[in-house]
Amino acid sequence: MATIGELARQHTALSKEDVSHLQALTGEWGMLADLCFADLLLYVPTNEGTWLVIAQVRAATGQTLYVVDWVGAFANDTEVALLAAAFDSQTITEGEIMVEDLVDPCFMTAIPVVHEGKSIAVLTREWSTRGARQPGQLERTYQDLFARFADMIAAGLFPFPGRVADSSVAPRVGDGAIVLDEDAVVVYASPNATSALHRVGISANVVGQTLAEMGIIDSPVRQAFERKEPVVEEFEQTSDVTLLTRCLPVLGSSLNSEPVVTGAVMLLRDVTELRRRDRLLLSKDATIREIHHRVKNNLQTISALLRLQGRRLKSDEAREAVAESVRRIRTIALVHETLSREPGDDVVFIEIVRPLLRLSEEGLQSPDRPVRFVVNGDGGRIPATIATPLSVVVTELLQNAIDHGFPEGEGGGTVVVTLDSNDTVLTIKVSDDGRGLSDEFDLSAATGLGLSIVRTLVTTELAGTIDMRQPTSEELNEANLTLRPGYRGTAVELSVPLRVD
């Protein structure tokens, strides 16, 4: 369905400011439809002399007249006369219209939409007497409010210009409405509003009192009266009840052309249960992060104990095995440390990779084997469920690149980690300018513990793929690597789905 802006550009000569005014009106008109218990349609005169429907809304408080959307349709002959009369005279006009497939009489109230002194569109209320709500105090009060807002629209006072409160998060008319006069005294409270007040301990009749006299925080009303614009505010009326309110001032014209506040409507909703759930979610998130923090501390303790044990070992092979275990445990601890700082279930992968490179620099290189580590890209955010195994894989690949690419005494080189991701797949390349793989190398037949861990984690736990090969000249150029004579380099490429079932 075309938007208001698109239809206006295609069929009218309305300015950008005029279109913005109409968009602001449709941002508020859900409340207007609820107040008048009827469908609202927005018509604009086209360049061809016809009238085009560019927006439509149905009331949540009444029966709809139209079961289909009429956006993009043109007014019929019975509607054109009313639309033109309201548009030209800038006065509200009412009359009977013919509606397709309906035999009962239908009616239209045509309200000129005035912006900067000129008519730019017509807002219509369209309804049928059949299925209309029986008039009671609520219906009479709401329709009177609608008539006052309609006068504001015709006077160019509604929607409110400039900065206004976001109506998308605000209560609706059906949640509860309190009508105030020009002195901020309550003249009417809907049944749902009365129920909300009962929940905060106000059971007396509120009509004739101000909010302050009832013990309700009245800052939204005071601000709306002073600023002459809507105000949304949420506050804890009691320790057990949280209210969300939106106060809209009703404006009228004055002799000095400056609008005056003639009253207001305050919509309110009890959001206690919603906020209780929000607090539970925040508490759950904080608990999960605290668990990650404690796991990290426990892993660091295990790592320290292993290092102490390693110093007592006599066998070089045993000490090396313990050192490798310590590196793996520190890698997992690093992931939990990052998760303890991150809200939600995802983690920024580069925040894990950079510390992993520092750990590798500290633990693997030596003065006889100076190795430089470089990271390109950031990899985006990844689910916490794959962060730990993926970090272990990267650590093993870095260690494998150092141990096999740059033997002790033969000098150092460069290891480049390249991260790339889209919405579904994370790709990691670990490239080096070291010795390279032998012609007989076969990853599937590799028996080393490190590569066995990598192969198992990638293909089984992460449901990804891994390729280990000699880098092409293009890959060497991309990684900014230059091979020394007799060196072939190594490239390892991983592809991991970001959502593992």
What is the chain's length? 501
Label residues 116-130 b or e (16+ Cβ within 10 Å = b). eeebbbbbbbbbbee
Model pLDDT, residue 472: 87
Give the helix, strand, coil percentages of the chain, each rounded to 5.
45, 25, 35
Average pLDDT for runs of 10 along the chain of length 501: 87 93 92 93 94 94 87 92 95 90 85 95 90 80 95 93 60 91 94 86 86 85 91 76 88 80 91 69 65 76 83 83 79 75 76 82 72 86 84 85 79 86 87 86 81 87 89 87 86 83 51
8 A C-beta contact, residue 498 and residue 476:
no
Query: Residue 486's pLDDT is what?
Result: 82
> Phi/psi at 365 (nearest 5 deg)?
-85, 165
The CA distance from 456 to 372, in Å, is: 28
What integer pLDDT is reported at residue 343 of this predicted model? Answer: 65
Report residue 332: phi and psi, to 5°: -65, -40
Tokens of 342: 């991150």
Q: In whole angstroms, give the CA distance from residue 217 to residue 210.
A: 10
Provide the sign of the torsion angle of the four alpha carbons 147, 153, 154, 157, taken in this order.
positive
Q: How, if at all, do strands 413-421 and 371-376 pair?
A: parallel
Question: Is residue 48 exposed (0-12), middle (13-18) or buried (19+ Cβ within 10 Å)?
Answer: exposed
Give the integer Cα–Cα distance in Å for 41 and 123.
Answer: 6
In what order do the strands lie in the sheet containing 177-181?
Answer: 186-189, 177-181, 260-270, 242-252, 231-236
Model pLDDT, residue 183 = 93
Let me know how many helices (H) and strands (E) the chain has, helices first. 13, 17
Are 332 and 299 contacting, i.e. CB atoms less than 8 angstroms apart?
yes
Strand partners, 97: 106
